[in-house]
Amino acid sequence: MDRNQATGLFLISALLLVYLFFFSPKVAPEKNKAQAPTTATTTKPAGPAPALAPRPSSTRPLARRAASSSKTPS
């Protein structure tokens, strides 16, 4: 590895580290964890999941198109 390659590798590594330092997500500090409420909260149980509507048949338009194209014009 010659001097130019080592300099380039160092500069690219430095740019990557600076980029990661400035654009990393910020962690929000926790506020007074000792004074946090200790009461348990209850959540209402979720009902059954809504049923999905049946998916329309995708071959139906193709069948119509094929039937209309197979007719010979008079």
**Which residue has tokens 């049946």?**
54
pLDDT band at 74 (very low <50, low <70, confident <90, very high): low
Question: What pLDDT score was predicted for residue 65?
Answer: 58
Whole-prediction pTM: 0.36
**First-to-last C-alpha distance (Å) of the chain:** 80
Question: What pLDDT score was predicted for residue 13?
Answer: 98
Is pLDDT at 10 greater than 90 in this prediction?
yes
Instruction: Render pLDDT for 17-70 as a digit per residue (tens, 0 to 9).
Output: 999 999 888 888 777 766 655 666 667 667 676 677 777 666 555 556 566 666
